[in-house]
Amino acid sequence: MARTDHPVEAFSRAVAAVYDCALNPDAWQQALRDIGELIDSPCLCLSITDYAQRSVAYCVNHGYDPQYLKVYFERFAVNPLFNLGHLRAVGDVYTLAMLIDNKDLVESRFYKEWSKPQSLGDFIGLNAIRSTRRAGGISGNRKLSQPRYAEHDVRLLRLLAPHICRTFAISDVLDLKSVRANTLEAALDALVSGVYLTDREGRVIYMNRAAEQQIKSGEVLRIVDHRLLTISRTARTQLSQSIEGAIADEATAPIGSISLALPGRDDAGLVATVLPLNRGERRSTSGQAAAIFVQDPVVAPPYPGEAFAKLYGLTGAELRVLLALAPGLSVKDAAAMLGVGEVTARTHLQHIYAKTGTSKQTELLNLFRNAAPPVKVG
């Protein structure tokens, strides 16, 4: 892709195109073309992932084969090769060389099944938004016949990054693609736990997305006359008494939270914690008297990734092995997925054991999972 005008003119045109997208998301197609001309990238994609829906909420493609893009989101969106890039700060620009050695990339399944068939070469990425509910940015590729991204390409995208991030933020506030921007609600919707708020009469006045799914399934909980009930009669009485105790007068109510087991159908079950909201500094002035947090013990939160690696001093290669093992793969299968030898993967695993003070794979993965935050998988 040859540049036909002065870089300043191309940059100005890209900035103008980006701001057009704040009020008109359909304009991103032209904006990606202009950004592509600026940094000499024939392939660019904008995507926004909705954590609550566990899906891609918005995607604009310029230059990629649509069928391969579909394969990417289905098979490679959660990719240990690029997780470190996805975890970088908002506004940060990164290239392939900043994430992984080229020799490791070309041995990976991702390269063999996705990049190489499209003759895709170097990669560049920009994280533009990250919240409790959504994450998104712009990524691009050059063809194998083109040179790798140089420092001036990275610098140009970094200069453009504040404008792109600002446009993403404006779109977020304007409820792009029906995603509400209320910060508290978005944070609650990102939680794995169901959150129910009741008023002083015990009536449910708010449920987050996880709670709505718990009620919709009908396996353990129901809402009857605006009140939270369990299908188990024994648990129903205990839950009702706990909620009544939580909303009772401060002088007569028990102190602290109350935890309950909530059995359901077909061996289903949840664990509930009832927390008073009318005590001391937690006293509510907006009508909420109690919060009920309901957790499915089977649901796994996302892995902590970069923070865990920093805590234990893991290298990028060691973190990729750990992320590949986390879903339950064997060392052999993890090595195949990453495109490295089994001996290499086992060597990395031994280094991880030494750094984390563990000696078995189950012990290591328990430590890793216990470090995860209680939010939904992205």
Question: Do residues 214 and 192 touch, judged by C-beta distance below 8 A?
Answer: no
**One domain, residues 28 and 160:** yes
**C-beta atoms surrounding 366 within 10 Å:** 12
**One domain, residues 48 and 113:** yes
Query: At which residue do the structure tokens 């007068």 appear?
Result: 249
For residue 335, the enclosing domain spans 306-370
How far apart CA 139 and CA 158 sit, in angstroms, is 13
Say whether pLDDT at 79 is over 80.
Answer: no
Query: At which residue do the structure tokens 């610098």 appear?
Result: 155
Q: What number is the average pLDDT over the span 71-77?
A: 79
How far apart CA 347 and CA 318 sit, in angstroms, is 9
**One domain, residues 267 and 316:** no
Of 114, 11, 132, whose CA–CA distance to 64 is shortest?
114
**One domain, residues 84 and 199:** no
What pLDDT, on a 0 to 100 scale, did the predictor assign at position 6? Answer: 54
Say whether pLDDT at 304 is over 70.
Answer: no
Query: At which residue do the structure tokens 């304009």 appear?
Result: 27
The predicted-structure confidence for 222-257, as pLDDT tens digits, reads as follows: 999 999 999 988 899 999 988 888 887 655 545 556
**One domain, residues 167 and 246:** no
Domain count across the chain: 3
Residue 378 located in a structural domain:
no
**One domain, residues 344 and 257:** no
**One domain, residues 273 and 319:** no
Strand partners, 139: 45, 125
Question: Of 113, 145, 178, at which residue does a domain stop?
Answer: 178
The predicted-structure confidence for 319-365, as pLDDT tens digits, reads as follows: 889 988 887 789 998 888 788 899 999 999 999 999 999 999 989 98
Question: Of 295, 317, 337, at which residue does a domain stop?
Answer: 295
Say whether pLDDT at 280 is over 60.
Answer: no
Of 69, 198, 190, whose CA–CA distance to 140 is shortest?
69
**One domain, residues 76 and 208:** no
Residue 21 located in a structural domain:
yes
Of 141, 108, 158, whose CA–CA distance to 336 is shortest?
108
Q: What number is the average pLDDT over the span 181-188?
A: 61
CATH number of the domain enclosing 208: 3.30.450.20
**One domain, residues 169 and 200:** no
**One domain, residues 15 and 152:** yes
Helix (H, G, I), strand (E, B) or coil at 260: strand
Q: Which amino acid, residue 276? A: P
The predicted-structure confidence for 95-146, as pLDDT tens digits, reads as follows: 988 888 888 888 888 889 989 999 999 999 999 988 766 788 999 999 999 9
CATH number of the domain enclosing 316: 1.10.10.10
